[in-house]
Amino acid sequence: MQNFDDISAEDDLIRLLLKRQTELNALLEITQAINKDTGTPVLIQMLQVILQSYLQVGKLRFLIEKEGGYILLSKYGGDIEPVGKLHKACLKLNKFKEPTPLKGHGDEILKKYDYFIPIYHKKKALAFALIGDFNTTEELLNNDLNFIQTVINVIVVALENKKLFKERLQSERFQREMELAVEVQNMLIPLKIYKDNRVEVSARYIPHQNIGGDYFDFVRLNDHEFLWCIADVSGKGISAALLMANFQASLRAWAAVENDLANIIDRLNKIVVTNTKGERFITLFLAKYNEKTRRLSYINAGHNSTVLFSKGEAITLNLGTTMIGVFDELPFLNMGDIYIEPDSLLINYTDGLMDHEHSNPNWTEESLIEFIETHGNETPDGFNQRIMNHINQVIKGKPIDDVTLLTLRIF
């Protein structure tokens, strides 16, 4: 029986995951509004609703650069100061590039606020925000401040893009979007390789451009179960990155409370359909392993088949369903279940591993299986390095998509 502390910790984790999902949903809604060329007043209204209703920010001053000066784009709460005085006060803080506390500040205007939030592109200040009457907890403070800065940053980028589009600077618009998308995607990539005495994990990720559509994750659920996923979202850029971020938050939230992979996939499909209205889709391979029973449950949702190498033989794991995000209800769903022998290797990959600028008859699905059967006794990291070296030597031409490898050795 779980004790009270275990239940409380699990509840806190679920709340944090759901909070992050709500934040990413808000970002996704703003991005979708931007993609529809929604007017500035509506974007500012969306920002104010998020800050007031969700984050409980009681006071806001949002200044943005325009034609060499600054305008007060959004304001609520308290007595409104003249724009010139606000700008002059904010200039005293121009050395700060991150959210900065203002409690006890000597300036008469600044000391009325809790935090200063700057928005920079390279070395140029694009906007400043002052927030006050901010009701949050110590544990969530840094998360909330970073989220506020990200939301404002996304809106500033959108407004900058409108201006750049009118001024023939389309390439700079694209670069700004890519920078934000990279920031979002960097949140998704696991920071370190996982290893214990029962499983060893290694990954390689090579984006085709600055920002890719691939995603992978490894989550230990409890003392004897872990889950992993590899996925590929259609499209590129900030919208695709935010969709994948929303997907990750949803996956982790449902994996914490739902044991059945089929139910998790069904939930994820509904979330993607709702968020994208069928305009984007995701292919993925999702698996959960029980170390006590040595049973692997998996679902392949239109993705490249994961390869299981065991006792000198390689087989593909194909059972599953279609890609998610296309149908309101998945037309079929077949969950795979297989016993994993000790010292087995599982190789997960995205299509960039196989697709290159020039097709090569020496590099096919069959030759990949042969390669795995030849080198499947390597460590996960050693195998990943060996296959990347092989591709660089054998294949002429660069990959036409992102390349992701996620390799696990189950002892």
- pLDDT of 305 > 90? The answer is yes
The CB density around residue 262, as the number of other CB atoms within 10 Å, is 16
Measuring CA to CA, which residue among 236, 182, 244, 178 is closest to residue 217? 244
Paired strand residues for 295: 290, 339
When mean pLDDT is compared over 41-50, 229-238, 303-312, the highest value belongs to 303-312
Give backbone dihedrals phi and psi of 27, rounded to 5 degrees, phi first: -60, -40
- The answer to whether the CB of 24 falls within 8 A of the CB of 246 is yes
pLDDT-derived band of residue 28, with 50, 70 and 90 as boundaries?
Answer: confident
Supply the mean pLDDT for the chain.
85
So what's the pLDDT on residue 107? 92
Higher pLDDT, 21 or 291: 291
So what's the pLDDT on residue 158? 84
What percent of the chain is modeled with pLDDT above 70? Answer: 83
So what's the pLDDT on residue 138? 82
What is the mean predicted confidence (pLDDT) over 23-37? 83
- pLDDT of 181 > 60? The answer is no
Domains observed in the chain: 4-168 (3.30.450.40), 191-410 (3.60.40.10)
The rounded distance, in Å, linking the Cα atoms of 43 and 344 is 51
Task: State the pTM of this model.
Answer: 0.58
SS3 14: helix
Least confident of 17-21, 46-50, 102-106, 118-122: 17-21
Task: Tell me the per-residue pLDDT of 224-276, one tens digit each, with 9 for 90 and over.
Answer: 999 999 999 887 766 777 788 888 889 999 998 999 999 999 999 999 999 88
- pLDDT of 360 > 70? The answer is no
The rounded distance, in Å, linking the Cα atoms of 245 and 222 is 23
- pLDDT of 34 > 60? The answer is yes
In whole angstroms, what separates CA 45 from the centre of its chain? 25
What is the mean predicted confidence (pLDDT) over 191-207? 83
pLDDT-derived band of residue 202, with 50, 70 and 90 as boundaries?
Answer: very high
Burial level of 218, CB count in 10 A (0-12/13-18/19+)?
A: middle
Q: At what angle do helices 4-35 and 237-257 cross, to 10 degrees?
A: 160
So what's the pLDDT on residue 243? 82
The rounded distance, in Å, linking the Cα atoms of 118 and 174 is 22
Higher pLDDT, 194 or 359: 194
pLDDT-derived band of residue 4, with 50, 70 and 90 as boundaries?
Answer: very low
Task: Tell me the per-residue pLDDT of 103-119, one tens digit each, with 9 for 90 and over.
Answer: 889 899 999 999 999 99
CA dihedral 337, 302, 23, 48 (to 10 degrees): -160
So what's the pLDDT on residue 278? 78
Task: Tell me the per-residue pLDDT of 369-397, one tens digit each, with 9 for 90 and over.
Answer: 999 999 999 999 999 999 988 887 777 65
- pLDDT of 15 > 70? The answer is no
Pull the structure tokens for residue 68. 């060499």
In whole angstroms, what separates CA 333 from the centre of its chain? 26
So what's the pLDDT on residue 397? 59
So what's the pLDDT on residue 177? 61
Paired strand residues for 191: none
- The answer to whether the CB of 146 falls within 8 A of the CB of 178 is no
- pLDDT of 27 > 70? The answer is yes
What is the mean predicted confidence (pLDDT) over 151-179? 70
Q: What share of the chain is helix, strand, coil (3-state, %, to 5)?
A: 40, 25, 30
Per DSSP, the residues of 296-345 read EEEEEEBSPPEEEEETTEEEEE--EESPBTS-SS-S----EEEE--TTEE
What is the mean predicted confidence (pLDDT) over 130-145? 87
Measuring CA to CA, which residue among 264, 288, 266, 258 is closest to residue 14? 258
pLDDT-derived band of residue 358, with 50, 70 and 90 as boundaries?
Answer: low
Higher pLDDT, 218 or 140: 218
- Residue 181 neighbours by CB under 8 Å, 6+ apart: 210, 211, 236, 237, 238, 240, 241, 242
